[in-house]
Amino acid sequence: MQSAPNRRSALDRPATDPSPIFENFRGMHASELLTAAVAHFDLFGRLQQGSLDFQSLRLALQLEERPAVVLLTALKAMGLLQELDGQVSLTDLAAEHLVPGGPFDCGDYVGLAAQTPGVLTMVRLLKTNRPLGSDEGEEGGAAFIYRDGMKSAMEAEDSARHFTLALAGRAKNVAPYLADAVSMQDAKLLLDVGGGTGIYSHALLQKNPNLQAIVFDRPQVLKIADQMTQEYGVADRCQLVSGDMFADPLPEGADVILLSNILHDWDKPECQLLVNRCAAALPPGGRLLIHDVFLNDALDGPLPIALYSASLFSFTEGRAYSGAEYREMLETAGLTPQPIQPTLVHCGVLAGVK
């Protein structure tokens, strides 16, 4: 499609794939989680005598479910733990090199990082199961997420602008791929819940000239979306509606609802609530699109997603989920999951049809 003069195109693709940049950026979490496991939780020592089931190991570590999944998924993805028939055990690599006191133990070497700020912060977050910035006394509020009663950075103009524009750095690379991966031939109205800048909607609107869209988000975030809809030349087909996706009625009439990088911000009960609300708002035959990253169904990798999961865990109340976990949420809401279509930067789109 030709871009009109002075109109940005959300369909232009980057010449190179930026995925390695995202992988290196998230790589710090490998060091933080490995060091935390060795030097703060004695994880490898605890498994020296034999395997434990997930719940017993979680209780021994004194971790809640979400941090335990994030930590153990990353260690499995690093090839240090394995899970067979629900029993978590050491791999040969971990047994030889990370059990304290073994002839080739290098745990003390890893422990050199035990008191570094990143590791200490990760240990605190794992123990408290609270996102950065969300507690009383912390500045700013939680990034990317808002629910009633939460201190959220998305409610103040400057921080909402900062975090929303930061996400556009990924979205502008990925949006053209989403627009290609999803057929909107029969769709009339797209509802982009938590749409941020709206770039994914803008790409779908530019690709599908008969489509209309609603971007639903917090009021401060929609100030950026407003600016962007003008720049992308889609303001006449893109409505902006503010509200709380957990509490307010979702705008009516959409035959496709997009949750792009939304569910990974929330713990499972909130995810299910949101999927249920979206499913209820769709007509028969309507589609809910989950655009996100996907862990393996066995929750043992891939490593870049396991490390991204640690990042999501740090900033939000969520983590990365597997395709199986998302399919279960869709099915619980009465939607039929379709195969995952890849987009870019480890993302893919999973549709649930009503």
Which one of 108, 138, 219, 246 is in contact with ligand SAM (CB under 6 A)? 246
| Residue 141 binds to ligand SAM (criterion: CB under 6 A) | no
Cβ-contact 234, 202 below 8 angstroms: yes
Contact status: 171 vs ligand SAM (CB under 6 A):
yes
**How open is the CA angle 255-211-236, to the nearest 5 degrees?**
125
Q: Which of 123, 167, 190, 238 binds ligand SAM (CB under 6 A)?
A: 167
Where do runs of H (alpha helix) occur along the chain?
19-26, 28-35, 43-46, 54-61, 65-77, 92-97, 107-110, 117-128, 157-181, 199-207, 219-231, 268-281, 303-315, 323-332
Of the ranges 72-80, 100-108, 257-265, 329-337, which one interacts with ligand SAM (CB under 6 A)?
Answer: 257-265
244 binds ligand SAM (CB under 6 A): yes
Give the span between the Cα atoms of 180 and 260, in whole angstroms.
15
Residue 184 engages ligand SAM in binding (rule: CB under 6 A)? no
Q: Does the footprint of ligand SAM cover residue 146 (CB under 6 A)?
A: yes
Identity of the residue numbered 273: L
Question: Active-site positions?
Answer: 264
How many CA atoms lie within 13 Å of 325's alpha carbon, on the beta-carbon side?
Answer: 21
Judged by CB, which is closer to ligand SAM: 90, or 153? 153
Instruction: Name the nearest CA neighbour of 193 among 222, 234, 166.
Output: 222
CB nearer to ligand SAM: pick between 245 and 350: 245
Q: How many C-alpha atoms does 271 have within 13 Å on its Cβ side?
A: 25
Do 49 and 136 touch, CB atoms closer than 8 A?
Answer: no
Contact flag: residue 238 with ligand SAM (CB under 6 A)? no
202, 228 in Cβ contact below 8 A? yes
Q: Which residue is nearest to ligand SAM (CB)?
A: 194
Interaction between residue 195 and ligand SAM (CB under 6 A): yes
Using CB under 6 A, which of 9, 35, 208, 261 touches ligand SAM? 261
Nearer CB in complex with ligand SAM: 44/146:
146
Buried b (16+ CB within 10 A) or exposed e, 335-344: bebeebbebb
The answer to whether 196 contacts ligand SAM (rule: CB under 6 A) is yes
Which one among 67, 107, 194, 337 touches ligand SAM, defined by CB under 6 A?
194
Sites of contact with ligand SAM (CB under 6 A)? 144-147, 154, 164, 167, 171, 194-196, 200, 217-218, 221, 244-246, 260-262, 265
